[in-house]
Amino acid sequence: MAGTALLRMINSQADALDRMTELDLAGPVAVLAQASRVIIVGTGTSQHAAELGAMMLAQAGRDACWYPAATWARWGPGPRAGDALCVISHTSETAYAARARAEALAAGVPLVTITGLGRGWPEAIGTVPPDESHTYTVSYTSTLAVLARLAHGLGWPDGSAEQLARTAGQVRRVCADPGTEAVAMPARSLAIVGPGPWGITAREGALKIREGARVLAEGFDTDRLLHGGAVPYTAADGLVLLEPGADPDGLTGAVGDAARQERLQVAVLEAPLDAGLPPLLAQIPMIVRLQLLAETFARLRHQNPDVAVTGAWNEPAIWGMGAP
Does 27 share its domain with 156?
yes
Smallest CA-to-CA distance from 10 within 302, 319, 299 is with: 299
Structurally, the chain folds into a number of domains equal to 2
Does 120 share its domain with 244?
no
Domain that holds residue 225: 177-300
Whether residue 85 contacts residue 110, with contact meaning beta carbons closer than 8 Å, is answered with: yes
Over the chain, what is the mean pLDDT?
Answer: 96
The last residue of one of the domains, among 135, 167, 199, is 167
323 lies in a domain? no
β-sheet bridge partners, residue 126 = 115
DSSP 303: -
Does 238 share its domain with 275?
yes
Does 182 share its domain with 250?
yes
Domain containing residue 191: CATH number? 3.40.50.10490
Question: What percent of the chain has a predicted confidence (pLDDT) above 70?
Answer: 99
Does 255 share its domain with 135?
no
- Write out pLDDT tens, residues 172-206: 999 999 999 999 999 999 999 999 999 999 999 99
Mean pLDDT of 5-26: 98
- Write out pLDDT tens, residues 130-147: 999 999 999 999 999 999
Does 229 share its domain with 154?
no
308 lies in a domain? no
Is the pLDDT at 1 greater than 90, yes or no? no
Is the pLDDT at 2 greater than 70, yes or no? no
Q: What is the dihedral sign for C-alpha 239, 244, 247, 252? A: positive
Does 203 share its domain with 278?
yes
Mean pLDDT of 157-178: 96
Does 106 share its domain with 210?
no
158 lies in a domain? yes
**Beta-strand (E) ranges in 60-109?**
64-68, 83-88
- Write out pLDDT tens, residues 91-120: 999 999 999 999 999 999 999 999 999 999
β-sheet bridge partners, residue 110 = none
Does 160 share its domain with 188?
no
269 lies in a domain? yes
270 lies in a domain? yes
Does 158 share its domain with 22?
yes
- Write out pLDDT tens, residues 251-275: 999 999 999 999 999 999 999 877 7
Give the burial string for 59-88 (b: 16+ CB within 10 Å, else e). Answer: bbebebbbbbbbebbeeeeebeeebbbbbb
Q: Quick one: pLDDT band at residue 309, thresholds 50, 70, 90?
A: very high
Does 28 share its domain with 151?
yes
143 lies in a domain? yes
